[in-house]
């Protein structure tokens, strides 16, 4: 039982919140509602706003979805947000299974590989740096991304992940939500 934000289960949610829960499950392609959404289920306005932000940042654009998941995973790990590191790590690794066809390969454990294009690693490094210390962001960070071939639109899309990850981490840490049982099973 969470004694900070109440977790609103699907069965107990209002019709508006149920509809939003449905959207999260469909678009994230998971068969359950994440605790991150449940802890906002008593405020449909906030839930809608935050879900819209998550969806716009994570699920649309030109940057590969797996790279986005790895960036959020890396930021969350560095910030020590266990919930987000676990959730996005699981999602990235589930993609790695899709990409490799093997269960024992985890992208999160191999993102330093020499065989992975440097565009991935540079993006993870720069965006993580900017997410942890936004004030220390320099033009050099942007140049590093451009040198990797990212366009201005790509960079805006990447940098928005710094913002998203901070929001995800903040809500997860403040609400004190535990890792979803379903994700624990996955692990």
Partner 1 sequence: MLADEAKTNRMPIKVVPGPMDQKVDLQQSQRLRYEAFSHFATEVNKASDVEAVGRSLSTHVKFMLDAFLLRVAYRYEQSYLFFEASRGSCTVVDREPRHEFVVFESALLHSGFPLFLGSEDIEQDPTFSGSLFDHPKLVSFYALPVRISPRHHLVISVGNKESSRYSDVDFRFLRLIGEVLSGKLSQLLLLRRVESKNEELEDANAQLTRLNNQIGELNQSLERTVAERTSDLRTANEELSILFYRTSHDFRRPLTTIMGLVQVAEMTVIDEEALQLFGNCQRVVVEMDAMLTKLSALGYYQSSYTTTRSLDFTPILGALRAKFAETAAKAGIDLRFNLYLKDTFHSDPAIILFILENLIENSIQFCGRYPYVELDVYQENLALVLRVADNGQGIEANQMTRIFEMYYRANAYSKGNGLGLYVVRKLVKVLGGEVEARSEVGRGSVFTVVLPPGK
Binding site for partner 1 (CB under 8 A): 62, 64, 66-67, 74, 77-78, 96, 99-100, 102, 104-121, 124-126, 128-129, 132, 146-155
What is the DSSP-derived secondary structure letter of residue 123?
H
Query: Which residue lies nearer to partner 1 by CB, 25 or 132?
Result: 132
CA distance 147 to 150: 7
Contact (CB, 8 A) for 103 and 88: no
Those residues whose C-beta lies under 8 Å from the C-beta of residue 141, and which sit 6 or more positions away, are 126, 129, 130
CB of 112 to partner 1, least distance (A): 4
**Where would I find the H helices in 35-64?**
35-38, 44-58
CA distance 47 to 175: 14
CB of 160 to partner 1, least distance (A): 16
CA distance 142 to 146: 6
Query: Which residue lies nearer to partner 1 by CB, 40 or 96?
Result: 96
Query: Which residue lies nearer to partner 1 by CB, 20 or 63?
Result: 63
Query: Which residue lies nearer to partner 1 by CB, 112 or 139?
Result: 112
CB of 177 to partner 1, least distance (A): 22
CB of 126 to partner 1, least distance (A): 8
């Amino acid at each position: 039982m969470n004694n900070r934000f109440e977790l609103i289960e699907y069965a107990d949610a209002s019709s508006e919140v149920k509809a939003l829960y449905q959207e999260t499950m469909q678009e994230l392609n998971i068969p359950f509602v994440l605790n991150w959404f449940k802890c906002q289920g008593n405020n449909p306005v906030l839930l809608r706003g935050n879900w819209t932000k998550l969806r716009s940042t994570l699920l649309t654009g030109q940057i590969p979805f797996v790279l986005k998941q790895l960036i959020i995973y890396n930021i969350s790990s560095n910030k020590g947000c266990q919930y987000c590191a676990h959730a996005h790590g699981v999602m990235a690794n589930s993609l790695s299974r899709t990409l490799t066809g093997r269960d024992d390969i985890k992208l999160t454990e191999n993102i330093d590989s020499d065989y992975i294009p440097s565009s991935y690693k540079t993006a993870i490094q720069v965006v993580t740096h900017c997410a942890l210390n936004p004030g220390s962001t320099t033009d050099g960070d942007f140049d590093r991304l451009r040198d990797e071939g990212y366009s201005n639109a790509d960079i805006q899309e990447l940098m928005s992940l710094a913002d998203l990850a901070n929001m995800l981490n903040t809500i997860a840490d403040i609400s004190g939500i535990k890792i979803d049982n379903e994700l624990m099973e996955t692990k």
